[in-house]
Structure 1
Amino acid sequence: MTADDSFRRLEDDDYPAYTMGRAAEMLGTTQGFLRAIGEARLITPLRSPGGHRRYSRYQLRIAARARELVDGGTPIDAACRIVILEDQLEEAERINAEHHRTARH
C-alpha cells in the first residue's frame, strides 16, 4: 500500500478510521451512547481484526444527529428511528429527483 492509498482511505467517508474511544471523544459523548445506538441498529460499526469497534465519518455524522435529538429530550430509541426515517426520506427524495431529471431528457 502506498502513502497515496492511505490518504485516499482517510478521505473516504465510509472508511472505519476511528476507534470507539476517539469517536466518543469527537462527538462529546460516551462509549455507552455509541453502544446504545449500535444496539438500536442505527449504525453498525465495523470490527478491527482484534474485535474492536471502528467508526467511519459517515457513521459519526449519523451518531451526531442522534445525539442532538437525545440532548433535546428524545428517548434514544425514538431518536434512532427518527434518524433512520430522515435518511430514508433523503434517499427517496434523491431517487425522485434523479427520476425527474432522467424523464426530462
Structure 2
Amino acid sequence: MTADDSFARLDDDDYPAYTIGRAAEMIGASPAFLRAIGEARLITPLRSEGGHRRYSRYQLRIAARVRELVDQDTAIEDACRIVALQDQLEEALALNEQLRTAAHPAA
C-alpha cells in the first residue's frame, strides 16, 4: 500500500476508521448506544482483526440522526425504524425521478 492509498482513505465515507469509544464521543453518545443501534441492525460496524468494532463516517451520520430522535424521547428501536424508512423514502423518490426522466427526456 502506498502513501497515496492511505491518504485516499481519509476521504472515504465508508472507511471504518473510528473505534466505538471515539465514535460515541464524536456523536455525543455512549458506546452502549452504538451497540444498541447495531443490535437493531440499522448499522453494522466492521470488525478489526482483533474483533473490535470500527465505524465509518457514513455510519456515524446515521447514528447521529438516531441520537437526535432519541434525545426527543423516541425509543431507540422506533428511532432506528424512522431513520431506515426516511432513507428508503429518499431512495425511492430518487429512483422515481430517474425513471420519470428516462421516460420523458427533455427536448
TM-score greater than 0.5 by the shorter chain: yes
Letter in 2 for 1:98: Q
- Alignment correspondent of 2:81: 81
Secondary structure at the counterpart of residue 32 of structure 1: helix
Secondary structure at the counterpart of residue 50 of structure 1: coil
Cα RMSD, aligned residues only? 0.8
> Greater Rg, structure 1 or structure 2?
2
Aligned length: 105
Q: Does residue 9 of structure 2 align to residue 9 of structure 1?
A: yes
The Cα of 1:7 is off from its aligned counterpart by: 1.5
- Alignment correspondent of 1:58: 58
**Percent of residue pairs bearing the same amino acid type:** 73
Secondary structure at the counterpart of residue 54 of structure 1: strand
- 1:21-66 CA-to-partner distances (Å, cap 9, x unmatched) read 1100100110000000100111000000110000011100000000
The Cα of 1:102 is off from its aligned counterpart by: 1.5
C-alpha distance in structure 2 between counterparts of 1:69 and 1:20, whole Å: 20
Gaps of 5+ in 1: none
C-alpha distance in structure 1 between counterparts of 2:102 and 2:7, whole Å: 35
Gaps of 5+ in 2: none
The 4+ residue runs of structure 1 with deviation greater than 3 A are: none
Structure-1-length-normalised TM-score:
0.96
Letter in 2 for 1:82: I
